[in-house]
């Protein structure tokens, strides 16, 4: 598929393991931090918004309802933003490997994106436990979540394919990404409902891939409804085009990587 074979899949998994190990290299707990870091962040959000500020959603009976709603959007966002940053740096950080080994370097951004699956899964499991504690037991609609997880991985990998190749030639991308992600965070209905946005901006936001992903988690988990099938289909088509074109562009320029890295 897309020119990849079983060997490439195995290589991608190996890079995923190496990335996860190197990220916490030198620490006593090692890869335990991959689970502990998001847990600490989610625990802090729960304490601040559930027990200090006691924020409430309109019509909700408990203060944890807002925390659940917030984490259902912010947890996936954190995983996606970390994946975008990691994938953008994946080729540059592997310059020595690219110069000394012959392999399909396009697996590097995919392996970098795969590391975000760990905090994403931690966020979803934490959210489900919090919902059960709040008396809001997940319904059968939760079966949609694995599909949304796959779609998120696919979309971020498509974005990472473009950014990783571009960053080799334009190193400023590394400094632009954090600012761009911050603007995306606050322009996407994550901390606030989409209904609070002006009508025109709301219509535009409905085509925002990040909002579609966030809503894809919130509908089945928080609202016990199926996500909008047309929105997911639109994102799947958009992602396929973006990934295909990004992969073609990556393969056209990767022959020049060694001369620039």
The pLDDT of residue 151: 95
- Give residue 55's pLDDT: 66
Q: Where are the domains of the chain?
A: 6-260
Distance CA 184, CA 81 (A): 10
119 in Cβ contact with 37 (< 8 Å)? yes
Q: What is the pLDDT of residue 27?
A: 60
CA dist., res. 226 & res. 252, Å (int): 40
Per-run averaged pLDDT (10 residues), the chain, 261 residues: 81 86 64 76 80 66 80 91 92 87 89 90 90 88 94 95 93 90 91 86 91 94 91 95 94 87 76
Residue 34 confidence (pLDDT): 72
What pLDDT score was predicted for residue 26? 57
* Residue entry with tokens 């600490």: 40
Output the pLDDT for position 156: 95
- In this prediction, residue 142 carries a pLDDT of 92
Q: What is the pLDDT of residue 51?
A: 72
* pTM as predicted: 0.89
State the pLDDT at residue 90. Answer: 92
- In 3-state terms the chain splits into helix, strand, coil percentages (rounded to 5) of 75, 0, 25
Please count the other Cβ atoms lying within 10 Å of the Cβ belonging to residue 63. 18
- Are 134 and 62 a contacting pair, CB within 8 Å? yes
What angle do the packed helices 107-114 and 64-93 form, to 10 degrees?
Answer: 150
């Amino acid at each position: 598929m897309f020119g990849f074979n079983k060997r490439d899949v195995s290589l991608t998994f190996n890079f995923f393991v190496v990335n996860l190990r190197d990220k916490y290299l030198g620490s006593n707990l090692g890869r335990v931090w991959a689970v502990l870091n998001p847990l600490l962040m989610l625990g802090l959000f729960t304490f601040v918004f559930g027990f200090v500020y006691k924020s409430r959603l309109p019509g909700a009976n408990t203060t944890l309802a807002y925390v659940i709603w917030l984490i259902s959007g912010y947890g996936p966002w954190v995983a996606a933003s970390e994946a975008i940053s990691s994938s953008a740096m994946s080729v540059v950080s592997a310059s020595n490997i690219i110069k000394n080994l012959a392999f399909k370097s396009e697996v590097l951004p995919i392996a970098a994106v795969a590391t975000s699956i760990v905090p994403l899964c931690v966020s979803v499991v934490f959210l489900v436990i919090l919902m059960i504690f709040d008396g809001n037991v997940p319904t059968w609609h939760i079966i949609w979540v694995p599909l949304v997880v796959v779609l998120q991985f696919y979309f971020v990998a498509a974005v990472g394919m473009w950014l990783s190749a571009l960053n080799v030639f334009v190193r400023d991308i590394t400094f632009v990404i954090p600012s761009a992600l911050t603007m995306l965070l606050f322009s996407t209905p994550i901390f606030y409902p989409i209904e609070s946005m002006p009508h025109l901006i709301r219509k535009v936001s409905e085509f925002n891939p990040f909002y579609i992903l966030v809503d894809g988690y919130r509908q089945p988990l928080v609202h016990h409804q199926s996500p909008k099938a047309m929105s997911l289909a639109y994102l799947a088509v958009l992602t396929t085009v973006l990934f295909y074109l990004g992969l073609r562009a990556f393969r056209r320029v990767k022959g020049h990587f060694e001369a620039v890295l």
